[in-house]
């Protein structure tokens, strides 16, 4: 198994150049749910929208935020929960589906359905477990490690740069963790594997390819990081000085660029995995 930056670069370049709607569609479905959710958030004055959003907010313990305009300060948290759910549970089926559609470019048999569905079913469990593990790791990182990292950076670098660098370190740390689990769905959709082997292979490949993967994951993630930065740093300004509803526009933009970044990252990962292990 060979892993080089040249392969990584050509995989990322190829992924960025080779956008195909059918391969992106599973990600788009998840994005569509996020858009619908955000649209509902702007309609909470209607009983039907409130009837749908209130139980969600209640589920994650944020019912007290269902007031105007404070809700728009909370909607990013709610979207975060929804995004985590979508990419973990339906994503356990949809991400492998997108990967299979990519592999179907070279394997026509896959596009016929029979082989695809068995590989899809087989990929569900390891992808779900990887998703849950990733969610747990990111939550742990944000809750426990990020305050330490932020204050350590702030102790060395003065404000406001210290604050910016702290935020960047926490965000990049999240990427670094996610990359370790990125290859689980890629390994899980390969032929002649089983859930446990796929999970183990995926993790092992994630560790080995970490240096050559993280750069393109960050590269594709830059637009979403920029939007996230604007939202986190200027969210208060939007809430108090502009229309609070504008927050949902920014979040919609964030969800869109994050969805595209995820698609391109998985596309590049699938290409790198194939070039490293050979077509199966």
Partner 1 sequence: MRYHMFRRLLVLGAGLLLVGCGGGAEQAAVYRAEKLLYAARKTEAEARLATPQPDSTTLLRVREAFMKVRASAPGPHKIEGDKRTRERRIAAIRTIGAAEASGVRLALEARRADLALEAAERLQIEAAADTATARQAAFMAVAAYQGLRRYDDAVAQMKRILATYPPLPPPPNGEDPILLIPESIVNLRRNLGEDEAATRELRFALQYYQGLLERKQIPGLEAQIRARVLRTNLELNQVGRALEEANTLERLVMSTPSLRSMLAEVAFAKGKIKATVDKDPREGIAILDRIATDFPNSPLAPRALFEAATQMESKGRLEDARGRYEAILQRFPATPEVAPLSLYRLGMVQEKLGDWTRAKSTFESVPIKYPRSTAAAEAPLAVIQHYVREGRRTAAELYFSKALETYRALIKQDDTGRLAPLFRVKMLQIYAAGRDSNGIYEITEEMLQNDPKHPYTAQVLLEAAKAAKSFGNERRGLAYLRRFLQDYPRSPLAGEVRRELKEHGG
CA angle 151, 157, 162 (to 5 degrees): 65
Q: Which stretch binds partner 1 (CB under 8 A): 10-18, 49-57, 75-83, 145-153?
A: 49-57
Q: Which residue, 20 or 67, is less far from partner 1 as judged by CB?
A: 67
Q: Which stretch binds partner 1 (CB under 8 A): 7-15, 63-71, 100-108, 184-192?
A: 63-71
Residue 201 dihedral angles phi and psi, to the nearest 5°: -60, -45
CB 269 within 8 A of CB 8: no
CB of 61 to partner 1, least distance (A): 14
Judged by CB under 8 A, the number of residues near partner 1 is 18
Near partner 1 by CB under 8 A: residue from 46, 139, 151, 194:
46
60 binds partner 1 (CB under 8 A): no
CA-CA distance, 250 to 132, in Å (whole number)?
A: 27
68 binds partner 1 (CB under 8 A): yes
Please state, as a whole number, how many other Cβ atoms lie within 10 Å of the Cβ of residue 168: 13
Near partner 1 by CB under 8 A: residue from 44, 82, 120, 258:
44
25 binds partner 1 (CB under 8 A): no
Classify burial at 196, counting beta carbons within 10 Å of its beta carbon; exposed 0-12, middle 13-18, buried 19 or more: exposed
Q: Which residue, 222 or 242, is less far from partner 1 as judged by CB?
A: 242
67 binds partner 1 (CB under 8 A): yes
Residue of 67, 265, 249, 242 lying closest to 185 (CA atoms): 265
Classify burial at 75, counting beta carbons within 10 Å of its beta carbon; exposed 0-12, middle 13-18, buried 19 or more: buried
54 binds partner 1 (CB under 8 A): yes
Residue of 94, 125, 92 lying closest to 32 (CA atoms): 94
Q: Which stretch binds partner 1 (CB under 8 A): 51-59, 86-94, 120-128, 208-216?
A: 51-59
Q: Which stretch binds partner 1 (CB under 8 A): 43-51, 141-149, 247-255, 264-272?
A: 43-51
- HSE-up (13 A, CA, CB side) for residue 105: 16
Q: By CB under 8 A, name the binding residues for partner 1.
A: 44-52, 54-55, 63, 66-69, 71, 244
């Amino acid at each position: 198994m060979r892993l080089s930056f040249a392969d990584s670069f050509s995989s990322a370049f190829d992924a960025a150049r080779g956008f195909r709607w059918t391969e992106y569609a599973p990600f788009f479905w998840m994005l569509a749910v996020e858009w619908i959710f955000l649209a509902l958030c702007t309609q909470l004055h209607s009983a039907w929208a409130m009837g749908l959003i209130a139980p969600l907010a209640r589920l994650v313990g944020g019912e007290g935020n269902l007031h105007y305009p404070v809700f728009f300060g909370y909607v990013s948290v709610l979207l975060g929960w929804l995004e985590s759910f979508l990419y973990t549970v339906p994503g356990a089926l949809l991400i492998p589906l997108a990967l299979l559609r990519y592999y179907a470019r070279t394997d026509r048999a896959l596009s016929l359905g029979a082989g695809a569905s068995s590989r899809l079913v087989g990929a569900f469990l390891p992808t779900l477990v990887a998703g849950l593990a990733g969610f747990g790791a990111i939550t742990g990182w944000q809750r426990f490690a990020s305050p330490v990292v932020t204050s350590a950076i702030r102790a060395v670098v003065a404000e406001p740069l210290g604050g910016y660098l702290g935020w960047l370190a926490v965000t990049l740390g999240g990427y670094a963790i996610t990359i370790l689990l990125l290859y689980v769905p890629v390994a899980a959709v390969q032929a002649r594997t089983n859930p446990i082997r796929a999970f183990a292979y995926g993790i092992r490949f994630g560790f080995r390819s970490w240096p050559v993967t993280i750069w393109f994951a960050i590269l594709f993630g830059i637009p979403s990081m920029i939007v996230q930065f604007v939202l986190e740093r200027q969210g208060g300004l939007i809430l108090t000085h502009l229309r609070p509803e504008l927050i949902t526009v920014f979040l919609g933009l964030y969800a869109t660029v994050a969805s595209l970044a995820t698609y391109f990252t998985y596309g590049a990962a699938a290409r790198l995995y194939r070039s490293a292990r050979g077509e199966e």
